[in-house]
Structure 1
Amino acid sequence: MFTLIALGAGVAWLFSLVALFFPAIFPHQFRTHQGTVYVYFEAATVILTLALLGQLLEAKAHQRTTTAIKELLKLAPATATKIVGNKETTVSITEIVKGDLLRVKPGEKIPVDGSIKEGDATIDESMISGEPLPIDKNSGDMVRSGTINSNTTFIMTAEKIGSETLLSRIIEMVNTASRSKAPIQKIADRLSGYFVPIVVMISLITFIVWAIYGPEPAYVYAMVNSISVLIIACPCALGLATPMSVMVGIGKGAQMGILIKDAESLEKMNSIDVLIIDKTGTLTEGRPSVERVVSVDPHVGEENLLRKIVALNSSSEHPLARATMKYGAEKGIAAEPINLFKAVSGKGVTGKLGTDQLALGNKSLMDQLGIAIAADLQEMVSAEQKAGKTVSYLSINKQAAGFVVISDQIKPTSRSAIWSLQNEGLKVIMYTGDNSNTAKAVSENLHLDGFQAQMLPEDKLTEIKKLQASGKKVAMAGDGINDAPALSQADIGIAMGTGTDVAIQSASITLINGDLSGIVKARALSKKVMSNIKVNLLFALGYNILGIPVAAGILYPFSGILLSPMVAALAMSLSSVSVILNALRLKNTNI
């Protein structure tokens, strides 16, 4: 970037140095009426001073682009109150280990990620989720580092510390993304690569034209104008056009609860044609609750059926499993040890309780295990599914013994978010492992553009590949381990921050609040950033296109105007500052 400045200032300085000690070697065109040679020490000095001044102004403006990261760093508390036996001591957060009990008092920041062990709380999570309303938390609920406890005291168990906490991961993702390059940056890089040698050629041509056709002292005019061309054409602003907008845009996203893994994802988000969404935890709350357990075996009562379901699900991390565990706890049923547990991805779980071989899952699992389902049982289940409920069959020793009915409320913002995305021309399609009846009920409720049910992880992956092969740009939104392959394959993987770590690691964008409205905001942010980059490139290129002819002296024959190298240096510096100031406008944009 500084090749042209170095050439311009260096030529002026070396010329002046030779003129000072060996004036006799110069032709008369370079001499004054007193016989001395024109020197440009002050011009070279002022050029470098103005270039450094521009860098200082640029650095000051650049500092403002990292505000988001600085604000995130401030969220992490330095100390915590640790409970050891009956004593409470204040310790540094670096001394906290997993399993420690910590007391969080009203108004304090939560030191690490964990779950509430005793007490209730109202937590302000706006600093990491972007949502202004505090959230009520109860015993067993997760709390995050950096969020603020409002008005009660509670005891929490430390579960994620140091770099494992959500706040630390957010800071790392924002830092990494800010340093990454958007594809559009490659255009600027290529332009800069061609630009410098072209400007050097223009500078030489300027010198030759002025030396031949310029007024006396022709060589002096030729030198001053060729140096002005070198300096004013410095493509610093061109190099700053993309990274500044990306840095501010990614910081803005972090403040809204949208974590963007790299600049390429931010750019691509603007060109997505199809959005694929999972159901549980993405469209729905992801906090399913058991409505009832139904037994169809006269030898197995509903309580006994629930006991077996709780035992099976005690080894599973699926949201539906957690719902049955919670329901069992409310009924006073403790989980019994299960043997030979196995999770069948997209279908359910199997295991052995005592002498009973158990299987809990959808019809695909029952079919896989060769378990027959009576017509009346199938009819009962279909009725529940048509109402949008999720139903899991339980088989005992290869006999269908009953089922559990689970409902999961659609998120309040899902309808409006889907409507907004469809209005932008996106097709929104649901891929779910749930049955066709439930999927159809949800799809019709939300007016989706289509759905596919009873899909395994590999099925989702295959369908996304087909869409991409047809020329579609595909985004995939999901929250579970089973969504990870599809999230990785999609052009843009979007993970719900309320989902699993595997899904978040596989995704390009993470929505901290787990809300589909975040996708609408991410697209709006992408559009704003890309528009800002284009304006920056226009500023940088337009400035050079206008500045180079003026510096070469094209106005001189008509108006007698020539551009001093010092003025060219000032204009070059201000062009870089103007690009950064334009990028900073993103901080205050409404999304």
Structure 2
Amino acid sequence: MANISSRNSKPYRTYIFNVHGVTNMSIASAIKEYLESKDGVYSAEISSDMKTLVANLMQNTYPWEVEEMAAEIGYAVQEARSPLFSIGGILEPVLLAITAIATIISFAGTSMNLLTGPAAEILGMFIIFICGYPVHKKAISALLDRKISLDILVSVAVISPLFYSYGVMEPVYYASGIIIFVVLSASIFKRSVQDRYEQMDFFLPSVALSVTDGKEAWINAEDINPGDVVTVKSGYRIPVDGTVDDGEGTLVTVIGGDNEKVRKGVRVNAGDILLEGDVTVKAAKKAIDSVLRPAADAFREARKPREFNKGYPKSVERVLLFVSLFGSIFVYFFFNSTVSAVAILLVATPLAMFIAWPVSIVTGKLAASNAGADFSSHGSIERMSLADTVVISGIESLVNKSTVSDVIPVQGYTENDMKSAIAAYGGDENDPLVKAAREYASGVAPSEEYSLKSLAEASRVVQIPADSHKRANALENEGKLVRYALKGREFMGIVAFDLEVSEETKKAVESLGKDKAKAKEVVLISRNPAGLSEVIGRKAGITNIKSRMDDRERLELVKKMVENKKEVVVVSKRGDLTRFAGNSGSVVIGNAMPGFEGLDDARCDSFAVVPGLISLAKKSLKRANEGLNFGFYFNTFAVIAASLGVIDIQIASLMIITSVVVVATNSMRSYFISLK
């Protein structure tokens, strides 16, 4: 731990960050402890609601360094990019409001002849150069980078009323204000739904805690070799794949998101979160070879910017810029028409194209939220709009209701003993299995002595008798989910759950199969035995079922689909490795896995709305492309009309407003779409 007292005489600066993946105080304490161990951090504190981090930094430390420090131990700490949470984000809405007020004053003053002379000029300069600063900044950057950009055309259009107002002595600066207002609005819409993360493998720690002769020291995870032992404290992520060498604790597993008690000999994976307790872990492999590393690489690749259909050729931007500038110069010098020259520049401004994309995406996000679902970002909607294959990872995603059907204790135990194990079955309170367990064991208090585990979890603790194993297989072939009851390290018996698939879920699967606009193929991949997987799959109406697939096999299957040019959306309960594969979008039913919040493309409460989410994503992109096409044809017609002198500056301003309203109204049609 760094010596804080030695820094007391030095000044520090305060920064506020958004934190993601913080689910309880042990994680918050881990982040705080690690940041304060760094010399550049004076102090750190995570808010009580675990949404923001307040860090006091020394003068020679920068905010991006805090982001990197937190990522080192496996957590995303990044300044928010939404309009209300960063310095740039706060300024944009304020500047938008100021622009609106200044534009209204300019228009009203000019129309009523109340604002003339120096007062009109001062207000005009303010609109063009202060309100328009973000516009001009982008244009200058494009020029310095030698790029042909529509930002250049917008900047020229914003400045053009200045030339007209001085030449003709009629202040029309409100035309500049209209353009600036629309551009800033589009920018705010876009910022509010853009992707949240840049460093996509932050959930893999790059450092580990080594204890030698009682002294703690942080080392690079890549320097750990098989057989080395590292310490993991409460709230930290496991740095390498390996086995627990000493200690006990409660772990949240990366694969599956289950809470699991761990002790000596239990296998753990890099990225797992130790919620309680302290353990030492003996590395089984190098950090670069961890189970999650291929998934992190695939996830990063999937989130790279892609060329989506923008509705018009890229060359249009270049052509529009040159035609507008040439046309404006031509009519000014050959026809001596200042009005037409300025009108060309105004109507050539592609505001309809600027607004089409962000408004459509924001509208799609709002429409999803009306149905209790959520898209994470514009990239999420874009990825899901391409879907032609839906992969359902795990039968849990299809099950809506469950009941305890069979309770079979082994000799020496009673049904009451089994109830104690069933009462201890933990997890999300909305999980059908948890609800069924609570109902069956009503009145029995949960105890840490008892547990109800899957076969894989139980086999790590105790050997399952052959006759119980055989009975469990028979129940699974009937389509029942089996769990194993334990008292400490003693096997008590088996519990079977009847699983139900709702009519809504069946209709959702049927709609995916029938409506090729939503998806061409539906695949169920499951860790469960063939009998159970096939029964649940048939109940839901799925014919393509692949069972007994471990985590690597499921990940590889989805990656292979992507390599075969399929556009995949993975649907899973709480999320798992398969959502990180290739180009896949992802939908999580219920709560996200602890430590992975916000990494999914969409979240909903039931599989029934998944087809609607995919359809909404496709319609949002369709509306955006319609707006882009409309903008292109509007600009083409308007430039010709302005060149012929049919349009003056007042009409040009009205046409701009009309085009933006048309595109925005068309985009907002998606808001009224039902997801079911």
**Structure 2-normalised TM-score?**
0.52
Query: What residue number does 2:358 align with?
Result: 243
Structure 1 residues 552 and 451, CA gap change in structure 2 (3 angstroms): same
How far apart, in 2, do the equivalents of 1:437 and 1:225 lie?
Answer: 75
How far apart, in 2, do the equivalents of 1:59 and 1:10 lie?
Answer: 19
Q: How does 1:263-412 map to 2 (within 5 A)?
A: 263-285=378-400, 288-295=402-409, 297-304=410-417, 307=420, 313=425, 322=434, 326=438, 329-330=441-442, 332=444, 335=447, 337=449, 347-349=456-458, 359=462, 371=464, 373-374=466-467, 377=468, 379-393=470-484, 402-412=493-503
Contact 2:452 2:485 survives alignment (8 Å): no
- Number of aligned residues: 407
How far apart, in 2, do the equivalents of 1:496 and 1:563 lie?
Answer: 54
Query: What residue number does 2:157 align with?
Result: 5
How far apart, in 2, do the equivalents of 1:316 and 1:446 lie?
Answer: 23
Picking from 564, 567, 576, the partner of 2:648 is 564
How far apart, in 2, do the equivalents of 1:268 and 1:314 lie?
Answer: 34
Query: 1:6: how far off?
Result: 3.4
Contact 1:253 1:522 survives alignment (8 Å): yes
If each structure's helix is expressed as a fraction of its own residues, which one has the higher value?
1
Query: What residue number does 1:484 align with?
Result: 576
Alignment pair present for 1:543 and 2:634: yes
Query: What residue number does 1:519 align with?
Result: 610
Structure 1 residues 189 and 242, CA gap change in structure 2 (3 angstroms): farther
Alignment pair present for 1:226 and 2:341: yes
Query: What residue number does 2:369 align with?
Result: 254
How far apart, in 1, do the equivalents of 2:459 and 2:470 lie?
Answer: 24
Q: Specify the SS of the correspondent of 1:505.
A: coil
Query: What residue number does 1:473 align with?
Result: 567
Query: 1:539: how far off?
Result: 1.9
How far apart, in 1, do the equivalents of 2:452 and 2:315 lie?
Answer: 54
Picking from 620, 633, 638, the partner of 1:529 is 620
Query: 1:347: how far off?
Result: 2.3
Residues 285-320 of structure 1: CA deviation (Å, up to 9, x unaligned)? 2x533222213x444444445556666x46999958
Alignment pair present for 1:423 and 2:514: yes
How far apart, in 1, do the equivalents of 2:488 and 2:654 lie?
Answer: 84
Matched letter for residue 269 of structure 1: M
Query: 1:268: how far off?
Result: 2.3
Query: What residue number does 2:169 align with?
Result: 41
Contact 1:259 1:510 survives alignment (8 Å): yes
Contact 2:423 2:442 survives alignment (8 Å): no
Matched letter for residue 348 of structure 1: E
Contact 1:320 1:406 survives alignment (8 Å): no
Structure 1 residues 198 and 226, CA gap change in structure 2 (3 angstroms): same
Q: Specify the SS of the correspondent of 1:472.
A: coil
Query: What residue number does 1:195 align with?
Result: 320
Query: 1:436: how far off?
Result: 1.1
Matched letter for residue 268 of structure 1: R
Query: What residue number does 2:47 align with?
Result: none
Structure 1 residues 60 and 470, CA gap change in structure 2 (3 angstroms): closer
Matched letter for residue 560 of structure 2: K
Q: Specify the SS of the correspondent of 1:408.
A: strand
Query: 1:421: how far off?
Result: 0.7
Query: 1:585: how far off?
Result: 3.1
How far apart, in 2, do the equivalents of 1:257 and 1:348 lie?
Answer: 33
Matched letter for residue 49 of structure 1: Y
Matched letter for residue 465 of structure 1: K
What are the ranges of 5 or more consecutive residues in structure 2 without an aligned counterpart? 1-150, 194-304
How far apart, in 2, do the equivalents of 1:469 and 1:497 lie?
Answer: 29
Structure 1 residues 581 and 54, CA gap change in structure 2 (3 angstroms): farther
Q: How does 1:32-111 map to 2 (within 5 A)?
A: 40-42=168-170, 45-46=171-172, 48-52=173-177
**Larger Cα-atom Rg:** 1
Structure 1 residues 273 and 586, CA gap change in structure 2 (3 angstroms): closer
How far apart, in 2, do the equivalents of 1:389 and 1:335 lie?
Answer: 26
Residues 535-579 of structure 1: CA deviation (Å, up to 9, x unaligned)? 2112211111111122222xxxxxxx6433443333233322332
How far apart, in 2, do the equivalents of 1:13 and 1:515 lie?
Answer: 59
Alignment pair present for 1:587 and 2:671: yes
Structure 1 residues 227 and 387, CA gap change in structure 2 (3 angstroms): same
Query: 1:391: how far off?
Result: 1.7
Matched letter for residue 199 of structure 1: S
Contact 1:387 1:438 survives alignment (8 Å): yes
Picking from 584, 588, 592, the partner of 1:495 is 588
How far apart, in 2, do the equivalents of 1:455 and 1:468 lie?
Answer: 18
Query: 1:530: how far off?
Result: 1.9
Contact 1:276 1:429 survives alignment (8 Å): yes
Pairwise CA RMSD: 4.2
Contact 1:282 1:516 survives alignment (8 Å): yes
Residues 90-149 of structure 1: CA deviation (Å, up to 9, x unaligned)? xxxxxxxxxxxxxxxxxxxxxxxxxxxxxxxxxxxxxxxxxxxxxxxxxxxxxxxxxxxx
Structure 1 residues 181 and 475, CA gap change in structure 2 (3 angstroms): closer
Query: What residue number does 1:96 align with?
Result: none
Query: What residue number does 1:436 align with?
Result: 530
Matched letter for residue 441 of structure 1: V
Query: 1:504: how far off?
Result: 5.1
Deviation larger for 251-260 or 5-14: 5-14
Structure 1 residues 436 and 548, CA gap change in structure 2 (3 angstroms): same
Structure 1 residues 579 and 301, CA gap change in structure 2 (3 angstroms): closer
Contact 2:404 2:497 survives alignment (8 Å): yes
Structure 1 residues 343 and 465, CA gap change in structure 2 (3 angstroms): farther
Structure 1 residues 187 and 264, CA gap change in structure 2 (3 angstroms): farther
Higher relative contact order (CA 8 A, sep 6+): 1
Query: 1:399: how far off?
Result: 9.3
Contact 2:328 2:342 survives alignment (8 Å): yes
Structure 1 residues 187 and 260, CA gap change in structure 2 (3 angstroms): farther
Query: 1:486: how far off?
Result: 1.9
How far apart, in 2, do the equivalents of 1:396 and 1:562 lie?
Answer: 87
Contact 1:310 1:324 survives alignment (8 Å): no
Matched letter for residue 586 of structure 1: S
How far apart, in 1, do the equivalents of 2:446 and 2:160 lie?
Answer: 81
Deviation larger for 424-433 or 260-269: 424-433
Matched letter for residue 486 of structure 1: T
Deviation larger for 229-238 or 185-194: 185-194
**Structure 1-normalised TM-score?**
0.59
Structure 1 residues 191 and 259, CA gap change in structure 2 (3 angstroms): farther
Contact 1:181 1:264 survives alignment (8 Å): no
Q: Specify the SS of the correspondent of 2:404.
A: strand
Query: 1:441: how far off?
Result: 0.9
Structure 1 residues 51 and 586, CA gap change in structure 2 (3 angstroms): farther
Contact 2:392 2:572 survives alignment (8 Å): yes
